[in-house]
Amino acid sequence: MTTAADLLSRPRLLHPVAWWIWGLLLAASATRMTNPFLLLLICAIVGCVVLQRKEVGTRNALGLFIGIALLAVVVRVAMMVLLGSSVGGRITLVTLPEVPLPHWMAGVQLGGPVMLAGLLDALYTGLQLAAVLLCVGGCNALADPRRLLRYVPATLYDAGTAIVVAMTYVPQLAEDAASVRRARRLRGHSGRGLRELAALVVPVLENSLERSISLAASMESRGYGRVTLDRSARRRATALTIIGLAGVLVGLFGLLGGPTPASLGLPVLVGGLVIAAMALMTGARRDQRTPYRRDPWGLPETLVVLSGVVPLAVVSVGLRRGWSGIVPAQVPATLPHVSVAIALALLVAAVPAVLAPRTPRRAEREDRRRLRPPTDPEQGPPISSLRRDPELSRSKA
């Protein structure tokens, strides 16, 4: 049996940038709607794709984000119930006892009637926030953000290196702390309590600074940092940065209703952002560093990105045309209408669950499971050969 994903590509890790674009596009669609059914559909899509395409044995970041998302909904609803809401409406669910407040807190209301419309509004917008968080959590689970560090532009190369150094040294810090503590216990200290913990600080700090100096010396002796952007590229980047930032500032003032005309606000802001982004990219073409085993960008990557573009485009068009069911009204409170076109468009975003290449370890496990029942030896590749294939056994490098 060959799956559709295997026809497009052998099992490999998808380019992390593709997963992040897909997730952020889906999050962008979620920010444009408050229909609870559509938002739940987005959550389901993210969960389904993560279940199908997360590499086996990596940390499941989605759990953390589900926790935060639930917290966001609960906090929101609880605050609405306790403090009332400005939405209005006519249907009162319950009336809580109202707590009198001092006069300087005028306008604040603690307790009082809980309106259905207000509750629904808090729930819908809370769900929106939750859906966006889940999309970002899905990105975290599908493509570890650390893998993105390999794709930073040349202007951020040094910053990226510093963060890679930091990630490498964290485990060593724990070892340092453990060995200092062991040494103290050998000298007859208990090794427990706040005072002992405080005694760790300076030795661990000294140790790691010592290590940073020897690391710097070894980097220096291997010629690190001698290949950098030339002066003209750097000057161009500085000029672009300042022009871009000034544009952003002017645009922002326009959007906030300042002296700049409001119609100018958004275009100037976007223009400034584009110029600032160009500053990041300056000199990237002439960067002389050679990459090590970059992930390829192939047809599956393009398909994954496109599957994120479709829902956003349809939702944006729908919003402009005023389709019902994207932003349902809470007053009067009715069951939100779900437009079939939008639901189908959202389902396009679930395509990666089928078409994105299977991850290597998951594919190996699935194939092994399929091959385990005693079949005749001519059928299918033996597992040992799968394991020896260097491309397959390559985990996230």
Are 250 and 268 within 8 A, CB to CB? yes
Helix extents (H) in 322-373: 340-348, 352-355, 360-371
* Binding of residue 5 to other proteins (CB under 8 A): no
- For residue 223, give Cα distances in angstroms to 93, 232, 315: 71, 22, 52
Task: By CB under 8 A, name the one of 21, 66, 246, 264 that touches other proteins.
Answer: 246
Query: What is the rounded distance in angstroms from the CA atom of residue 156 to the CA atom of residue 223?
Result: 18
Min separation Cβ 276 and other proteins, Å: 5
* SS3 of residue 76 by DSSP: helix
Query: What is the rounded distance in angstroms from the CA atom of residue 210 to the CA atom of residue 49?
Result: 45
Type of residue found at 323: W
Compare residues 259 and 374 and give the one whose CB is closer to other proteins: 259
Long-range contacts of 186-191 (CB under 8 A, 24+ apart): none
Site stretch for other proteins (CB under 8 A), options 49-57, 139-147, 299-307, 352-360: 139-147
Q: CA-based angle 342:70:149, to the nearest 5?
A: 80
> x/- binding map, residues 288-307, to other proteins, per CB under 8 A?
--------------------
Count of residues near other proteins by CB under 8 A = 102
Compare residues 110 and 354 and give the one whose CB is closer to other proteins: 110
Compare residues 224 and 297 and give the one whose CB is closer to other proteins: 224
Closest by CA position to 25, among listed 132, 145, 163, 100: 132
Task: By CB under 8 A, name the one of 22, 65, 114, 339 that touches other proteins.
Answer: 65
Query: What is the rounded distance in angstroms from the CA atom of residue 339 to the CA atom of residue 41?
Result: 12
Compare residues 80 and 304 and give the one whose CB is closer to other proteins: 80
* Binding of residue 70 to other proteins (CB under 8 A): no
Count other C-beta atoms under 10 Å from residue 62's C-beta: 22
Place of tokens 């079949």: 375
Task: By CB under 8 A, name the one of 245, 264, 343, 371 that touches other proteins.
Answer: 245
Query: What is the rounded distance in angstroms from the CA atom of residue 397 to the CA atom of residue 394?
Result: 7
Min separation Cβ 383 and other proteins, Å: 31
In the region spanning residues 15 to 34, those forming contacts with other proteins, defined by CB under 8 A, are 28, 31-32, 34
181 phi/psi in degrees, rounded to 5: -65, -40
Compare residues 61 and 392 and give the one whose CB is closer to other proteins: 61
373 phi/psi in degrees, rounded to 5: -55, 135
Are 96 and 111 within 8 A, CB to CB? yes
Place of tokens 């078409």: 355
Task: By CB under 8 A, name the one of 277, 317, 344, 383 that touches other proteins.
Answer: 277
Compare residues 139 and 355 and give the one whose CB is closer to other proteins: 139
Task: By CB under 8 A, name the one of 21, 91, 109, 151 that touches other proteins.
Answer: 109
Min separation Cβ 41 and other proteins, Å: 18
Min separation Cβ 37 and other proteins, Å: 17
In the region spanning residues 159 to 218, those forming contacts with other proteins, defined by CB under 8 A, are 159, 161-170, 173-174, 198, 201-202, 204-206, 208-213, 215-217
* Binding of residue 237 to other proteins (CB under 8 A): yes
* Binding of residue 144 to other proteins (CB under 8 A): yes
In the region spanning residues 327 to 346, those forming contacts with other proteins, defined by CB under 8 A, are 327
Min separation Cβ 159 and other proteins, Å: 5
* SS3 of residue 332 by DSSP: coil
Site stretch for other proteins (CB under 8 A), options 85-93, 284-292, 364-372, 386-394: 85-93
Min separation Cβ 76 and other proteins, Å: 7
Count other C-beta atoms under 10 Å from residue 81's C-beta: 18
Task: By CB under 8 A, name the one of 2, 86, 288, 385 that touches other proteins.
Answer: 86
132 burial type by CB count under 10 A (0-12 exposed, 13-18 middle, 19+ buried): buried
Compare residues 162 and 344 and give the one whose CB is closer to other proteins: 162
